Structure 1
């Protein structure tokens, strides 16, 4: 039976959720992870139902009974389960309806705190340069970001907190680095020379921030950007993340509009190209001391 002070991570097998679970476990904080199929979950926590102090339980955002059971005896919930695809119906079912079910379960169980992992994509296309939380109007440009903004409002209305990362990278990243590296190689150059500055954070450090917030607590109604204090250029980030930096076309520069036209048949949207062609960085100083991290 999970006891007082425990944290439940919803989406514990996902890219960000698994990092939060690891950070909590490494800090010696008791943690329960909600996953669809515990038997098939990442074995890095150990084996069996109790994996290295991490209790994995079956459940999902579309199963109210499993959410109620998972929330029993929990002090804090980190909600890191989101659908980020393009199906509008799925976006609503998972991100909005699922979040509503989770909040009903946390209220019923008397959970003290809920922290929801959202995205800076709720602001829409920039450029954005050092903006404070909600320093520009919300303008989500995809079903996923619109539904995550709706989920934010539900969480904040219930007295929870919201964490908005921008670019998250690291082991397990199937989206940002692999797709950007592939696109740059096909283009034969960096979009606008890779000079855009963006907010970014490794998944491990984001997991540590979420763990710190869970253990230390965060004021109700807080909205926090989650990134390193200083932005990084796309060029410098690619130098860190490219599997073979020597193969990257560092000398080439592709204009934004040309990149958009080239990338459209490959499934990239104009908004996605803008995210690495124009500045997108957000004031992120506040989260570090709240999480007890040096930053």
Structure 2
């Protein structure tokens, strides 16, 4: 009997990548793809598509019927406390209730290492107590609790690049170009991965090709963090654009004075200090090769067609 997979957030960045990977592996017929407003980007692939809203419990009824594995990638990012609570926490709690009642065997949930709060973070493990600082992160941490209580597995990536990324590398690029200088020399280390690598891991576990212990949290980045300067150089070479001279440096305090009011502190927290999360638990459990590190020029260049229009306004 075919094992069915329920994929939430199938119209989003991560969920869309998981949908593509499932289709690539010939698993489309097994997938019930759940979207809110946007349809899955992977069309004509025989996915069974349904609409639901995590903030509407009635729309979740029956979603998990006949499902073996739930991959929960839907999330609200950037809403106020009540909106995030309704979608990320209460919506996940109701989805877990539906999964239990339907006898779902495996739940995989995509959270974020941002639940650890402000840095700097140097090889932080999953056992360090999270201190979330935003409505999004607080409610995503609460959602983790619902998933773990249901015996699910939690994945915490930090920064994600690739097709669909409209935030990570574009924001880092905009910050660097606006300052026309490197914050503390661009030496901050960032844990990151590609959306395709993350989707491959989720698909491996969802389809049973690899096993992970349930009820466990895993940081889900590449083991090797990327230096900000290396990321930006690789991106600049890919899109053919200049960067600040190597000698152009500003401290975080100086950068805060140069950035527009309201965004400076957030940008500096996110990109101006090291955020390195230890991923030993994940890659040891998978027994898999994580592939090349996230900074090599050839890897960043593989996404040139996606980033070029965003960063330069030129067609790919």
**Structure 1 partner of 2:54:** 61
For the structure 1 residues 102 and 241, does the alpha-carbon distance in structure 2 shift closer, same or farther, using more than 3 Å as the test?
Answer: farther
Kindly provide the CA deviation profile for residues 99-137 of structure 1, in whole angstroms up to 9, marking residues without a partner as x: 111111111211111111111111111221112212x32
TM-score by length of 2: 0.83
TM-score (ref. length: structure 1): 0.89
Query: Superposition pairs for residues 1-295 of structure 1, below 5 Å?
Result: 4-29=2-27, 30-37=30-37, 41-46=39-44, 52-134=45-127, 136-216=128-208, 217-242=211-236, 244=239, 246-251=241-246, 252-265=248-261, 267-268=262-263, 270-288=265-283, 290-291=285-286, 293-295=288-290
**Does structure 2 retain, via aligned residues, the 8 Å contact 1:164–1:223?**
yes
In the alignment, structure 1 segments of 5+ residues that lack a partner are 47-51
Which runs of 5 or more structure 2 residues have no equivalent in the other structure? 291-316
- Taking the aligned partners of 2:235 and 2:81, their CA distance within structure 1 comes to 31
Q: Could you tell me whether the CA contact under 8 Å between 2:10 and 2:73 is conserved in 1?
A: yes
Call closer, same or farther: CA 1:269–1:73 in 2, change over 3 Å: farther
Residue by residue, what CA displacement relative to the aligned partner does 1:233-260 show, whole Å, maximum 9, x if unpaired? 0111122334635322142222111223
Question: What count of residue pairs does the alignment treat as equivalent?
Answer: 284
Instruction: Check conservation: 2:16, 2:41, Cα contact below 8 A.
Output: no
CA–CA distance in structure 2, aligned partners of residues 57 and 229 of structure 1: 36
Shift of 1:142: 0.9
Q: Secondary structure at the match of 1:33?
A: strand
Deviation at 1:43, TM superposition (A): 4.5
- Say whether the 8 Å CA contact 2:219–2:278 is kept in structure 1: yes
Indicate how the Cα distance of structure 1 residues 264 and 110 shifts in structure 2: closer, same or farther if over 3 A, else same: farther
Deviation at 1:154, TM superposition (A): 1.1
- Tell me how far apart the structure 1 counterparts of residues 277 and 3 of structure 2 sit (CA, whole Å): 32
For 1:269 and 1:149, the matched residues in 2 are separated by 25
CA–CA separation in structure 2 for the residues paired with 1:196 and 1:238: 12
